[in-house]
Chain A
């Protein structure tokens, strides 16, 4: 992500859900800075459910520990109980500390990303940019509904550096040289006698 790269969130509506009012305000300030078209703020996941059922949103950012419905339960509801295209909405789950009981839930609830605090606008922006170029397939199975968790197999989006040093993009890219003749291909395939 270069500093000169352009990011366009001017048409995007973001749903922010946080049960901590101060954190919700800060999240809102960050997204104001990002220049989103509209942000809808909710103090609970159940309020978020009502919004989703009545409004179109393009991205959900949630940090909610409400026992009635926490971030993980919300993500499971969205992925399993809503029709397409609602169930495909990208979800970023923010967390400070994930209790032992929640670590596996974080992996299995179907969110697009889990982002752990401490959090900076730069980190959040990088994740949103990643989502914009996300080429992971959406998986629907008995035990899991959500973006494919096997990021490594598909590589990072085109033009973005991977998180691991050996990450390669799945893109082959456009041809930069002339196609080979069939005879050249045949020659490559043809067994040749080699003098040993």
Chain B
């Protein structure tokens, strides 16, 4: 076994950031949030489109289309993850998790997918707000996910 070598490194990023100047944290955060906010509307349209695609895939339940579920749910997280989409993100994450487990184990369950997608649609229709309805939906998804974990 070769011995590990450790090096003390000062990166160019560290050197540059140590220079005087720049902006305050408050200013930088405000600027970044403002710029990010400009994307919100487009992202929510994309997210709604992705949920529709998931509904179609889940309704068809076609053999061989299982990997599409993880791929679509993962795409949803990639964009929705820049905004506070609270319960929708949590439902999407749960779908990714169960899809990954079911695919790895080979114990695929379309009803598990369908219930996630239905919950995501309801949360999206409710404006992605965390409230009693979304809490109840997420609670249900957690039970479904726990069952899926047991089965895989």
User: A residues bordering B, Cβ < 8 Å?
Assistant: 1-12, 18, 20, 22-23, 25-26, 29-35, 56, 58-59, 63, 65, 85, 88-90, 96-97, 99-101, 117-122, 125, 128-129, 131-134, 137-142, 144, 148
Contact = CB atoms under 8 A, between A and B. Distances in A.
Interface residues of B, number: 58
Interface of B: 1-9, 11-14, 16-26, 28-36, 38-39, 42-43, 46, 70, 73-75, 77-85, 89, 93, 96-97, 100-101, 104
Contact of B25 (A7, A32, A89, A131): A7
B4 A141 contact: yes
A131 B79 CA distance: 25
Chain B contact surface mostly: helix
Contact of B17 (A8, A18, A100): A8
A97 B77 contact: yes
A55 B72 CA distance: 34
Contact of A58 (B11, B30, B101): B11
A3 B32 contact: no
Contacts of B80: 118
A132 B13 contact: yes
A148 B6 contact: yes
A59 B152 CA distance: 39
The 4 closest A-B pairs by CB, nearest first: A117-B81, A33-B32, A8-B22, A96-B77
Contacts of B22: 6-10, 35
A26 B20 contact: no
A26 B79 contact: yes
A31 B26 CA distance: 15
B146 to A, nearest CB: 16
Contact of A101 (B16, B24, B104): B104
A21 B16 CA distance: 29
A187 to B, nearest CB: 37
A32 B31 CA distance: 8
Given A7-B22, A29-B38, A141-B4, A12 B17 contact: yes
A99 B22 CA distance: 38
Nearest to A102: B100
A141 B28 contact: no
A118 B28 contact: no
B11 A89 contact: yes
A26 B82 contact: yes
Contacts of A125: 25, 28-29, 32
